[in-house]
Amino acid sequence: MKVEKMTMPIYMDYSSTTPVDPRVAEKMIPFITEDFGNPASRSHPYGWTAEKAVETARKEVAKLVNADPREIVWTSGATESNNLAIKGAGNFYSTKGKHIVTLATEHKAVIDAVREMERLGFTTTFLQPEPDGLVNIEKFKAALRPDTVLASVMMVNNEIGVIQDITAIGNICREQNIIFHVDAAQATGKVEIDLEKLPVDLMSFSAHKTYGPKGIGALYVRRKPRIRIEAQIHGGGQERGMRSGTLATHQIVGMGEAFRIAREEMGEENARIKKMQHRLYEGLTEIDETYVNGDLEKRVPHNLNISFNYVEGESLVMAIKGIAVSSGSACTSASLEPSYVLRSLGRSDEMAHSSIRFSIGRFTKEEDIDYTIQLLKDKIGRLRELSPLWEMFQDGVDIDKVEWAAH
């Protein structure tokens, strides 16, 4: 099949994935061709070179989050890290209790790993956050039980970008001797993470959300006090037995370099991105009947999630094909269900259907923001002209009071 070269839209979907920074790619290449050794080979320089590169990268990952390099376990990505943390710690400590607390707005990799624990005899609580997307600390405390063994709360939400109060939640877990796992896939390079101070036992990382390659991630496993996990992948005993499998040296080198750049540049970069987020927010909220999903202040600057009322998300995505974004509309998801994250905030189905996630990053330019604002202003107007709901709204009909025949 012949695939025609498309004119590529402006990338506004950094929360899905980021391009590999050219500096990262450059650093990776020698480890594919020349320095291809297996880091576990102890008998020749090929192995030694690879091992050295892996350990340098481990230090870089640890440094970004102020951890000890020995606390970093390589995985294939945040999905595997989340699975390893939840299944690994849940099963290891299951004699202490079999109840797990997490949020209804977690990434599917956490939700479905926790669901799998139900199958293994655990009971679970999926806590609903407040309408702003944040956890109510009192409600979190109330959800804990004497048999709660593990809690898992994401640092930054992938859909709405809100930042949870990890310190407060972690302190409660510490008091009650509950293992605390944090999915930080969307947090690295965006918010400061200091694991010397944070009361966190396990933390998941991904490279490709932070300008590193796909297919590599890490799990932080605290040493003091020591946290134990059961391995989920068995084999050659790499990563002190916690995760077997030949280490992907080039991927690991990429993650290390990506995290080094993040550490050195995140201050300046986030200030720049914050300005662009503000510009985007100001421009888009000039459009009537727009609603920001999630708290605007306790939020990473990279994310803006907006519902454009009376316009359906998928048709909007089609209309704005000059930019690449994600929608919470059912029609854009494989499951044909509207975003469960927005539904958990108490947003109506139609508001979830009407939502667009704009996520910006390192290579976003100010003119991209201006183009986006103008594009949305033009297309929302056109689609609302097509929308019977907009017409009803204009006529003063309360759409919530209409009896719709659900189908």
Partner 1 sequence: MAYSDKVLDHYENPRNVGSFDKNDPSVGTGMVGAPACGDVMKLQIKISDNGMIEDAKFKTYGCGSAIASSSLVTEWLKGKTLDQASEIKNSAIAEELALPPVKIHCSVLAEDAIKAAVADLKSKQK
Q: Which residues are catalytic?
A: 331
Given the complex with partner 1, which of 176 and 333 has the nearer CB atom?
333
The set of residues, in sequence order, having a beta carbon less than 8 Å from that of 342 and lying 6+ positions away, is 159, 160, 293, 305, 307, 328, 351, 352, 355
Given the complex with partner 1, which of 120 and 386 has the nearer CB atom?
386
Question: Position 15: which residue type?
Answer: S
Task: Round to whole Å and give the CA distance between 324 and 11.
Answer: 5
Given the complex with partner 1, which of 191 and 331 has the nearer CB atom?
331
Task: Round to whole Å and give the CA distance between 266 and 120.
Answer: 41
Given the complex with partner 1, which of 107 and 353 has the nearer CB atom?
353
Q: Smallest gap, in angstroms, from Cβ of residue 291 to partner 1?
A: 15
- Is 204 marked as binding a ligand? no
Q: For residue 240, with 0-12 CB atoms within 10 Å meaning exposed, 13-18 middle and 19 or more buried, which class applies?
A: exposed
Instruction: Note whether 228 and 202 are within 8 A (CB).
Output: no
**Residue 92 tokens, joined:** 């290891």
- Is 78 marked as binding a ligand? yes
Q: Smallest gap, in angstroms, from Cβ of residue 329 to partner 1?
A: 6
Q: What is the dihedral of CA 91, 92, 93, 97, to 10 degrees?
A: 20
Q: Smallest gap, in angstroms, from Cβ of residue 392 to partner 1?
A: 9
Task: Round to whole Å and give the CA distance between 225 and 241.
Answer: 19
- Is 208 marked as binding a ligand? yes
Given the complex with partner 1, which of 349 and 370 has the nearer CB atom?
349
Q: For residue 120, which of 98, 146, 89 has the smallest C-alpha distance?
A: 98
Q: Smallest gap, in angstroms, from Cβ of residue 180 to partner 1?
A: 36
- Is 173 marked as binding a ligand? no
Q: Footprint of partner 1 on this chain (CB under 8 A)?
A: 310-315, 318, 329-332, 336, 338, 348-350, 353, 385-391, 399, 404-407
- For residue 337, give the DSSP letter: -
Collapsing DSSP states into helix, strand and coil, what is residue 6?
A: coil
DSSP H or E segment with residue 72:
strand 72-75
- Is 248 marked as binding a ligand? no
- Is 177 marked as binding a ligand? no
Q: Smallest gap, in angstroms, from Cβ of residue 357 to partner 1?
A: 17
Binding site membership: which residues?
A: 78-79, 158, 186, 206-208, 246, 331
Binding site membership for [2Fe-2S] cluster: which residues?
A: 331
